[in-house]
Amino acid sequence: MKYLLVGLGNPGAEYVHTRHNIGFLALDALAEASGATFAPDRLGDVARCKFKGRQLVLVKPTTFMNLSGKSVRYWLDAEKISTDRLLVTTDDINLPFGTLRIRAKGSDGGHNGLKDIQAVLGSNAYPRLRFGVGADFGPGRQVDHVLGKFSSEEEQALAERLKRTSALMQSFAFIGLQRTMNTFNNT
Answer for the pair 163, 128: CB distance below 8 angstroms, yes or no. no
Instruction: Tell me which of 17, 20, 111, 145 is the catalytic residue.
Output: 20
Answer for the pair 48, 27: CB distance below 8 angstroms, yes or no. no
Nearest C-alpha neighbor of 114 from the set 104, 124, 101, 99: 124
13 DSSP assignment: G
| The dihedral sign for the CA sequence 164, 128, 91, 138 | negative
H-run or E-run covering 128: strand 128-132
Annotated catalytic, 20? yes
Name the 3-class secondary structure at 136: coil
Q: Using the CB atoms, write b or e for 130-151: b if 16+ within 10 Å.
A: bbbbbeeeeeeeeeebbeeebe
**What is the DSSP secondary-structure string of 28-77?**
HHHHHHHT---EEETTEEEEEEEETTEEEEEEEESS-GGGHHHHHHHHHH
Annotated catalytic sites, by residue? 20
